Structure 1
Amino acid sequence: MTQITLIPGDGIGPEITEAVKSIFSAANVPVTWEEENAGQTTFDSIGELIPASLITSLKKNRVALKGPITTPVGKGFKSINVQLRQMFDLYSNVRPAKTTKGVNTRFENVDLVLFRENTEGLYSGLEVVDERLQIVDSISRVTRTGCEKIIRAAFEYADKHGRKKVTAVHKANILKSVGAMFLSIASEIAKEFPHIQYDDKIIDNMCMQLVAKPEQFDVVVTTNLFGDILSDLCAGLVGGLGVVAGANIGKEMAIFEAVHGSAPDIAGKGIANPTALLRSAIMMLHHIDLKDEANRIEAALETILGNKEECTGDLGGRASTMEFAQNIIAKL
């Protein structure tokens, strides 16, 4: 048995978490859950956004599944997601985007994986405030080490999964020093993988290309802010944040998460779609080498997604959160 830290989160988090737990139980997945929470609900109950017990659990188990978390807005709190990524050097944010039969989109044959550097850039938290002049400087710190780690992760993933191309995304025409370093490192690492095609795109052109011909891309790697924007754009190509997986991976730890919000407006109504968290959990199973269980659950999910009537309302069906889970269980 593998013990996993489970973070239900806020809003709809506990509901979609229960759905995933029920599917894992029915599929006899050999994992046990150590439940710890974080976020607004935790802050309201114990006065802490990230309890020490959660940190202890993460350090012990090194793998976690996380529902959507709410960071209180306008109160000076740093994003919980950013804190966890920086605390455990989860430098690689991995976001697959693949067309799914039954999920209506404007595009067909999209199958790409985005690698976003997860710990530095404009998300480093380095800000200088001049109250007298009313000026705020946000410093984008990019390191050679950070670039090397995320670019190598992208190429190694492509190599391991039989992907044919890696595209580096940048803004070297304006951000010349950062762009030059990122591209030079990408070119160096690409030479180690001669069987993988390598190219690069300027970020604004990349956005246009993605909404014009997304099927041309395979593995995409970029810095933090660009990756944050592109990952949601790519999710939009295949049905939205409610159907895509997400993972934050470092050398020593991995946290798999639903990347959508906590949706407090529908919390407690039993209508939330658990697909994003379930797909993240499937990624987690591959990560811990439970591939048979992952493939079995994924096949059942794909079957249900192909039949709208058995899906939740956002996908065109009438099923509740737990009915959707039961429909998947019936296909196992």
Structure 2
Amino acid sequence: MALRLTQRLLQAQTPFLARGYPMLVTKEKTEDVAHTKSALQKKLTGRDIPSAQYGGRHAVTMLPGGGIGPELMNYVREIFNYCGAPIDFEVIDIDPSTEGNDDLEYAITSIKRNGVALKGNIETKSQSLSETSRNVAIRNELDLYVNVVHCKSYPGIPARHKDVDVVLIRQNTDGEYAMLEHESVPGIVESMKVVTVENAERVARYAFEYARQNNRKRVTTIHKANIMKLSDGLFLEVANRVHKDYPELEHNNMIIDNTCMQAVSNPHQFDVMNMTNLYGTIVSNVICGLIGGAGLISGRNYGDHYAVFEPGTRNTGTAIAGKNVANPVAMINASIDMLNHLGHKEHANVIYEATYQTIVNDAIRTPDLGGNHSSTDVVENILKILSTKRVN
């Protein structure tokens, strides 16, 4: 804990405007340009996110995680091999039952070397107070300060609502996930919720810049400032201040409990949502559940130097592991995001089109989407479609 606090203090000494905003304004899908910088990025930094590249191929860290993660990663590798995606995966398995951090430290070193990772949800089974969540530790160590989840409906997929198109921008390293807890006296546990001006401003500016560059109209900041007047009050205050730099955009705010009700009853009122860490977890699961469940939507984690891609709801899926019923689409979409990020647009496009055709046009769907097909049925249909495509 002392080391983590020391690292934060050292980072705080860096002037705010000296920090970059990598991948801040990447356009959706085919409009992406690898390492393209916005005017804001060019103003703040002259650096790109580093990535290991050898002879036109990229080395990428792969962290299968637990539950259904390993089988989903195998599907991704099969698809990449089939279409010749120029990616070499460095696979690192982190044992969830161990109490040491050797595997975790090696994984973090690998991501720092490669610049990019594809990951499943990593379990931390140890109950020892000295053991931190591996997922949170990766985000904190790499300063992956923002999480982006684009919740967009697929036509024909059974869902509570149709035509939903909401982008969730979640602060990734502060809040309740700071993992600062202690038992002050026996029977009384205190947990710190950390909100800093620097991180609140980084995520707010990311949200507004994303909205500007992707032709969005409104940013909604989610909070509980009526009760947590200092912490959430600061987060809301910073968002209001940042909004002044984006006068063409609308900005409103909503309390988290009302947000959940509004999301369930009318998700179409939301466009881009800016929120703290815990609220992002809640809202992303709610909205993903409304449009088809955990198996469809991917998530992107960005920092100044590194990017990590994963399923949007970060579920482990232990109960269905090994049963050939897990929906592979969320992990495939995460791998598509990764290809776009690295500049392999053509491979990303053909895999996306094949996946879309499989679940929308061909209706090859796993049980979570109301279908009766297996995981391998979905993947085999994707490969069948890819066999008709030519990728240069």
TM range (shorter): over 0.9
Residue 91 of structure 2 corresponds to residue 35 of structure 1: yes
Unaligned runs of 5+ in 2: 1-56, 387-392
Q: CA deviation at 1:271?
A: 2.5
Partner of 1:102: 156
Residues 216-295 of structure 1: pairs in structure 2 closer than 5 A: 216-258=269-311, 259-295=313-349
Tell me the C-alpha RMSD between the 2 structures. Answer: 2.0
Residue 120 of structure 2 corresponds to residue 64 of structure 1: no
Partner of 1:17: 73
Q: CA deviation at 1:293?
A: 2.4
Q: Could you tell me the TM-score, scaled by structure 2's length? A: 0.79
Residues 39-188 of structure 1: pairs in structure 2 closer than 5 A: 39-40=95-96, 43=98, 48=101, 50-72=103-125, 74-76=127-129, 77-132=131-186, 134-188=187-241
Partners in 1 of 2:234 and 2:370 — Cα distance?
A: 46
Partners in 1 of 2:301 and 2:148 — Cα distance?
A: 6
Residue 78 of structure 2 corresponds to residue 6 of structure 1: no
Q: How has the CA–CA distance of structure 1 residues 14 and 236 changed in structure 2, closer, same or farther, with 3 Å as cutoff?
A: same
1:69 touches 1:261 (CA, 8 Å); kept in 2? Answer: no
Partners in 2 of 1:78 and 1:249 — Cα distance?
A: 21
Partners in 1 of 2:367 and 2:137 — Cα distance?
A: 33
Equivalent residue in structure 1 for 2:263, among 210, 218, 238: 210
Residues 187-202 of structure 1: pairs in structure 2 closer than 5 A: 187-202=240-255
Report the 3-state secondary structure (helix = DSSP H, G, I; strand = E; otherwise coil) of the residue aligned with 1:310. Answer: coil
Residue 374 of structure 2 corresponds to residue 313 of structure 1: no
1:308 touches 1:317 (CA, 8 Å); kept in 2? Answer: no
Partners in 2 of 1:49 and 1:244 — Cα distance?
A: 31
Q: How has the CA–CA distance of structure 1 residues 204 and 268 changed in structure 2, closer, same or farther, with 3 Å as cutoff?
A: closer
1:100-119 alpha-carbon deviations (Å, 9 max, x no partner): 12321110111011111111
More strand by share: 1
Q: How has the CA–CA distance of structure 1 residues 98 and 49 changed in structure 2, closer, same or farther, with 3 Å as cutoff?
A: farther
Report the 3-state secondary structure (helix = DSSP H, G, I; strand = E; otherwise coil) of the residue aligned with 2:356. Answer: helix
1:172 touches 1:179 (CA, 8 Å); kept in 2? Answer: yes
1:68-96 alpha-carbon deviations (Å, 9 max, x no partner): 22210534332111111111111101111
% identical equivalent positions: 41
Unaligned runs of 5+ in 1: none
2:295 touches 2:326 (CA, 8 Å); kept in 1? Answer: no
Q: Could you tell me the TM-score, scaled by structure 1's length? A: 0.92
Equivalent residue in structure 1 for 2:380, among 303, 326, 330: 326
How many aligned positions are there?
A: 328
Partners in 2 of 1:50 and 1:163 — Cα distance?
A: 41
Partners in 2 of 1:178 and 1:11 — Cα distance?
A: 35
2:195 touches 2:234 (CA, 8 Å); kept in 1? Answer: no
1:3-39 alpha-carbon deviations (Å, 9 max, x no partner): 1111111222111111111122223222211111224
Between 306-315 and 163-172, report the one with greater CA deviation: 306-315
> What is the one-letter code of the residue matched to 2:174?
E
> What is the one-letter code of the residue matched to 1:40?
P
> What is the one-letter code of the residue matched to 1:191?
K
Q: CA deviation at 1:253?
A: 0.6
Q: How has the CA–CA distance of structure 1 residues 39 and 192 changed in structure 2, closer, same or farther, with 3 Å as cutoff?
A: farther
Partners in 1 of 2:108 and 2:125 — Cα distance?
A: 20
1:65 touches 1:281 (CA, 8 Å); kept in 2? Answer: yes
1:151-199 alpha-carbon deviations (Å, 9 max, x no partner): 1111122222222211111112222222332222212221222222221
1:181-228 alpha-carbon deviations (Å, 9 max, x no partner): 222221222122222222111212212211111011111011111111
Report the 3-state secondary structure (helix = DSSP H, G, I; strand = E; otherwise coil) of the residue aligned with 1:96. Answer: strand
Partners in 2 of 1:177 and 1:87 — Cα distance?
A: 26
Partners in 2 of 1:34 and 1:83 — Cα distance?
A: 20
2:167 touches 2:272 (CA, 8 Å); kept in 1? Answer: yes
1:50 touches 1:80 (CA, 8 Å); kept in 2? Answer: no
Report the 3-state secondary structure (helix = DSSP H, G, I; strand = E; otherwise coil) of the residue aligned with 2:232. Answer: helix
> What is the one-letter code of the residue matched to 1:10?
G
Partners in 2 of 1:292 and 1:311 — Cα distance?
A: 25
1:40 touches 1:49 (CA, 8 Å); kept in 2? Answer: no
Partners in 2 of 1:265 and 1:171 — Cα distance?
A: 34
Q: CA deviation at 1:48?
A: 4.6
> What is the one-letter code of the residue matched to 1:82?
V
Partner of 2:27: none
1:170 touches 1:202 (CA, 8 Å); kept in 2? Answer: yes
Between 291-300 and 212-221, report the one with greater CA deviation: 291-300
1:112 touches 1:218 (CA, 8 Å); kept in 2? Answer: yes
Higher relative contact order (CA 8 A, sep 6+): 1
